[in-house]
Amino acid sequence: MKMPKSKRRFCPKCKNYTEQKVEMAKVTGKRGSLSHGSIQRARKRGQGRGAGNKGKWGSKPAISKFKRTGAKISKKTAFKYTCKVCNKATQQSQGFRTKKVEFV
Ligand SMILES: [Zn+2]
């Protein structure tokens, strides 16, 4: 889809409609695997025992939905709107699926 580089939009800080810059928000904070050391420490504290992984430790689920890589060809948008007046940024509340975003 085509998206304008700037858009007139409501700014909650200015409480008014202002010109805002549109860009794609960076997806950060990808979750890493829990290190072996922290699992060992949990065992010493008496945690992480029993059946299953208790949502955190030990065994991993047999089939993860994240294993199905490339199942979908579209991705959800996450637009970041930066107000040109107060320079505050807000993020799109509800993303939608699209194959490609083009800023024009
Ligand atoms: Zn503003």
Average pLDDT, the chain: 82
Mean pLDDT, residues 2-8 = 94
Cα atoms found within 13 Å of the Cα of residue 75, Cβ hemisphere only: 10
**Same domain for 66 and 50:** yes
Distance (angstroms) between ligand 1 centre and the Cα of 9 equals 9
Residues sharing a CB contact under 8 Å with residue 64, sequence separation 6 or more, in sequence order: none
Q: What whole-number percentage of the chain has pLDDT above 90? A: 45
**pLDDT for res 72:** 79
Number of domains in the chain: 2
**Same domain for 93 and 67:** no
**pLDDT for res 32:** 45
Distance (angstroms) between ligand 1 centre and the Cα of 7 equals 13
Distance (angstroms) between ligand 1 centre and the Cα of 14 equals 4
Distance (angstroms) between ligand 1 centre and the Cα of 78 equals 19
Question: Higher model confidence: residue 102 or residue 33?
Answer: 102
CB atoms within 10 A of CB 81: 20
Residue 93: CATH number of its domain: 3.10.450.80
Domain span at residue 85? 1-27+78-104
Report the distance separating Cα 70 and Cα 66, nearest Å. 10
Mean pLDDT, residues 71-81 = 88
Distance (angstroms) between ligand 1 centre and the Cα of 66 equals 38
